[in-house]
Amino acid sequence: MNAAAAGHVVVTGGASGIGEVTVLALIDQGATVTILDASAEAVARTEERLEGEDVLVLACDVTDEDEVADCLGQAVDAFGPVTGLVNCAGIARDIPAERTSAEMFRQIVDVNLTGSFILCRAALDQMGDTLSIVNLSSASGIRANAGVILMSQVLANEWGASGVRVNVVAPGPVDTPLIASLHTVEDRKRWTAQIPLRRYGQPNEIADAILFLLSPQASYINGHVLTVDGGLSTSGIIAGR
């Protein structure tokens, strides 16, 4: 695997799931890492588990601009300018549109899309000479993926001349606590049958893609959507989803 760029990487949602695995991979690559997570319990658990590592773990609501700015300020004080940002924080509600309330829709967009934008802008304010941003979307619509992708491409165009690259990783179904809480046994059978590789992804497979996009080996990749889904996007959408 290509080594991630050495530096200071901020990972939202970094106390569980794909974010957690990405943090561990970054540490192995020698990066200093700031973890932002909404769960105070997960933050405490992660602080204890990573004691002694070059890691700062902070509880943070990614939808709160002031809170994000304060956390990024603490991060820069601890480890210096931000060279990488990975937006893994997100929520999901795997239900049909006709059963999705406006309140639920707003909540999903606020965390998954607006939260990612707030972190991108905050990281820009605290960047070093260059900045690589990787936003997590979805190959299957579990997250507000179209909005995240479009926002990322707009920022890639606007900020590229300033030494900022913005890319997207779009996973298919991945074995994480979030997916485990959403997918029943029957759901898993339906999804697995639709995936050409006939299995769910593993968090480390998504983390590998993230680290590649952060790395110098991806220095000329900007505004790209890297789909990591076992071929799901080539096989069509599951009926009723």
Rounded to the nearest integer, the mean pLDDT of the chain is 90
Q: Which pLDDT belongs to residue 164?
A: 97
The torsion of the CA quartet 105, 107, 108, 112, rounded to 10 degrees, works out to 140
Q: What percent of the chain has pLDDT over 70?
A: 93
What are the angstrom distances between the C-alpha of 124 and each of 17, 63, 160, 228?
A: 25, 17, 11, 26
How far apart CA 198 and CA 26 sit, in angstroms, is 29
Exposure class string for 164-173: b at 16+ Cβ within 10 A, else e: bbbbbbbbbb
CA distances from 19 to 41, 46, 101, 128, 222 (A): 16, 12, 28, 22, 21
DSSP code per residue over the chain? -PPPPSSEEEEETTTSHHHHHHHHHHHHTT-EEEEEES-HHHHHHHHHHTTTSSEEEEE--TT-HHHHHHHHHHHHHHH-SEEEEEE---------GGG--HHHHHHHHIIIIIHHHHHHHHHHHTEEEEEEEEEE--SSSSS-HHHHHHHHHHHHHHHGGGTEEEEEEEE-SB-SHHHHHH--HHHHHHHHHHSTT-S-B-HHHHHHHHHHHHSGGGTT--S-EEEESTTGGGS-PPTT-
pTM for this model (two decimals): 0.89
Per residue in 64-78, pLDDT tens?
999 999 999 999 999
54-63, 75-84, 131-140: least confident range: 131-140
197 closest CA partner among 179, 169, 178, 171: 171
Whole-angstrom distance, CA of residue 81 vs CA of residue 56? 14
- Ordered strands of the 164-171 beta sheet: 55-59, 32-37, 8-12, 82-87, 127-136, 164-171, 225-228
Given a cut of 70, whether residue 53 has pLDDT beyond it is yes
**Which tens digits make up the pLDDT trace of 203-235?**
999 999 999 999 999 999 999 999 999 998 888
Write out pLDDT tens, residues 160-193.
999 999 999 999 889 888 788 888 898 889 889 9
